[in-house]
Amino acid sequence: MSKITLQMVVADLDRLPALPEVVQDLMDYLQRPEVDVGQVAYRLARDPALAAKLLRVANSSFYGLQSQVSTIPDALVVLGLRAVRTLVTGAAVVTHLQTLVVAGYDQRALWLHSAGTALCGRILAREFGANAENAFTAGLLHDIGQLILAARFAEANRRVWAYRAEHDCHPIEAEREVLGFDHGQIGAALAARWKFPAEIAAAITSHHTPMDQAAGSLAGLIHLADVMAHVLGFPGGKDDLVPRLSSLAWNRLGIGWGEFKRLLGEVDAQRDDAERLLN
Amino acid sequence: MMATIRKILLDQALPGMVLGEEVTSASNTLLPRGTVINTGHIDGLRRREVTEIVVLAPSELSAAEIEERREALRGKVAHLFRQAGTDATMQALLRAVLEYRLEKLE
């Protein structure tokens, strides 16, 4: 039984397959202060699968379009470039990491939960006036550390799962007990490596401990989004366990339970978007 | 289970509904009674400018069936919250989730 450290896992991130060149190029281009829609469309067209996914997302109910958009330039106009940057990133990361195949690990459940949390994060951000695109991406990636652990450190991961099965506890408790670090820290390191905004990395690190971050931070939103996704059955199943909702994080948001139920309803109405994102 | 029939607008038709009366156009039968309609049928009827159809409406569930479903839902939510403990926020969350799920059931 070999001991692994957070440093070992972070160093190993370099060995994950790199983001495709088209995606990296597009993300770099979208960082510029002034971008040209024609250039973005041209770059996107080099990756037809990504372009198709972007169109699917643009046509999802969240954006409430009166009619369907069928071309990339139309989608860019409808979504706005900031949204496109996040969506491109999110779609690319999901497509990319879906290629990590892990024997005996239910990747589908992880992605369903991730997509559900992304939807919840987006709706909460809209409700609280935060950046919806960052909330979406943070929701999508908040548990990515679990996948990395399973894919790259299978033996250590098996020990974590054995502990979970024995104690019927939350993944994060098993990870801290068995490894001494957790999936939030791994995910944040990946987000930093891929040069995502700092608030996304912070939200991934602290999604189970939002009290470590200031009031109004993205971590608080993703913390609640994670809880919402679990209660809405993303992913569902007999092992699913609702995470502990922090009273401090809840009180900071200052909403009532009636409003919470309304938000659950809003997410439920967009359930199909989660499937669209994954397929 | 007893079923009654009701007339609905084609726009309200959903895949899986069962026709309670045949759909005709002039003197032709387009779809016979008892057809389980799918999206292809709905599109086809729309093209033929059918605006209303008659579908079977299942009768109300019995009180016992409703209680059974509610009980199953309570069990499911309780299982999801099995490690919630006595924390006041978690208990309030549990109540809100249960209310939401039960309201949705109705």
Residue B89 burial class via C-beta count within 10 angstroms: exposed 0-12, middle 13-18, buried 19 and up: middle
CA distance A67 to chain B (A): 17
> Quick check: A169 contacting B, CB < 8 Å?
yes
Cα separation, A89 vs B36, whole angstroms = 42
Q: What is the mean pLDDT of chain A?
A: 88
> What's phi and psi for B22, nearest 5 deg?
-65, 155
Least confident range from A24-28, A215-219, B12-16, B74-78: namely A24-28
Task: Determine how many CB atoms are found less than 10 A away from the CB of residue A216.
Answer: 13
pLDDT, tens digit, for every residue of A133-186? 889 889 999 999 999 999 999 999 999 999 999 999 999 999 999 999 999 999
Contacts of B97 in chain A (CB under 8 A): 231, 264
> What's the predicted TM-score (pTM) here?
0.79
Task: Give residue A98's pLDDT.
Answer: 80
B93, closest residue in chain A (CA to CA): A257
Cα separation, B74 vs A91, whole angstroms = 36
Please, which residues bridge with residue B57 across strands?
B4
B98, closest residue in chain A (CA to CA): A231
Contact criterion met (CB < 8 Å) for B89 and A238:
no
Cα separation, B77 vs B84, whole angstroms = 11
A265, closest residue in chain B (CA to CA): B100
Contact criterion met (CB < 8 Å) for A268 and B104:
yes
Which residues of chain A from 213 to 252 reach within 8 Å of chain B, CB to CB?
Answer: 227, 230-231, 238, 240-242, 244-247, 250
For B80, which of A230, A246, A257 is closest by C-beta distance?
A230
Q: Is A60 left (phi over 0), alpha (psi -120 to 50) or beta?
A: beta
Cα separation, A214 vs A216, whole angstroms = 6
Q: Which of A249, A242, A268 is nearest to A209 (CA)?
A: A249
ipTM: 0.86
* Average pLDDT over every residue of B61-78: 87
What the block records as the tokens of A111 is 């992605």
Contact criterion met (CB < 8 Å) for B89 and A241:
no
DSSP A113-169: HHHHHHHHHHHHHHHHT--HHHHHHHHHHTTHHHHHHHHH-HHHHHHHHHHHHHHT-
Task: Give residue B1's pLDDT.
Answer: 46
Q: Which one-letter DSSP state was computed for residue B96?
A: H
Report the percentage of chain B scoring pLDDT > 90: 37
CA distance B28 to chain A (A): 34
Can you say how many angstroms the Cα of residue B74 is from the centroid of all Cα atoms in its chain?
A: 20
> Quick check: B100 contacting A, CB < 8 Å?
yes
Please, which residues bridge with residue B3 across strands?
B58
Task: Determine how many CB atoms are found less than 10 A away from the CB of residue A133.
Answer: 23
Q: Could you name the CATH architecture of A104-279?
A: Orthogonal Bundle (1.10)
Is residue B7 classed as helix, strand or coil in its secondary structure? strand
pLDDT, tens digit, for every residue of B19-55? 988 898 877 888 888 888 888 899 889 988 889 999 9
Contact criterion met (CB < 8 Å) for A169 and B83:
yes
* Average pLDDT over every residue of A39-55: 82
Report the percentage of chain A scoring pLDDT > 90: 52
Q: Which one-letter DSSP state was computed for residue A206?
A: T
pLDDT, tens digit, for every residue of A230-259? 999 999 888 899 999 999 999 999 999 999
Is pLDDT above 90 for A17? Answer: no
Least confident range from A6-10, A33-37, A110-114: namely A33-37
Q: Which of B13, B60, B99, B83 is nearest to A259 (CA)?
A: B99
Choice between A12 and A88, residue whose per-residue pLDDT is larger: A12
> Quick check: A212 contacting B, CB < 8 Å?
no
Is pLDDT above 70 for B58? Answer: no
Cα separation, A185 vs A15, whole angstroms = 18
- Based on its alpha-carbon atoms, the radius of gyration of chain B, rounded to whole angstroms, reads 21
Is residue A235 classed as helix, strand or coil in its secondary structure? coil
Number of H helices, E strands in chain A: 17, 0
Task: Give residue A129's pLDDT.
Answer: 94
Contacts of B79 in chain A (CB under 8 A): 238
Q: Is the peptide bond prior to B32 cis by the omega test (within 30 degrees of 0)?
A: no
For A241, which of B80, B87, B92 is closest by C-beta distance?
B80
Contacts of A165 in chain B (CB under 8 A): none
Is pLDDT above 60 for B2? Answer: no
Cα separation, A60 vs A78, whole angstroms = 12
CA distance B105 to chain A (A): 13
Domains of chain B: 3-58 (3.90.105.10), 63-105 (no CATH)
Task: Give residue A253's pLDDT.
Answer: 95
B3 pLDDT band (50/70/90 cuts)? Answer: low
Contact criterion met (CB < 8 Å) for A245 and B89:
yes
Contacts of B82 in chain A (CB under 8 A): 168, 241
Please, which residues bridge with residue B42 across strands?
none
pLDDT, tens digit, for every residue of A193-216? 887 889 999 999 999 999 999 999
Residues 6+ apart with CB under 8 A from A238: B79
Residue intervals of chain A classified under CATH 1.10.3210.10 are 104-279
Which residues of chain B from 80 to 99 reach within 8 Å of chain A, CB to CB?
Answer: 80-84, 87-90, 92-93, 95-97, 99
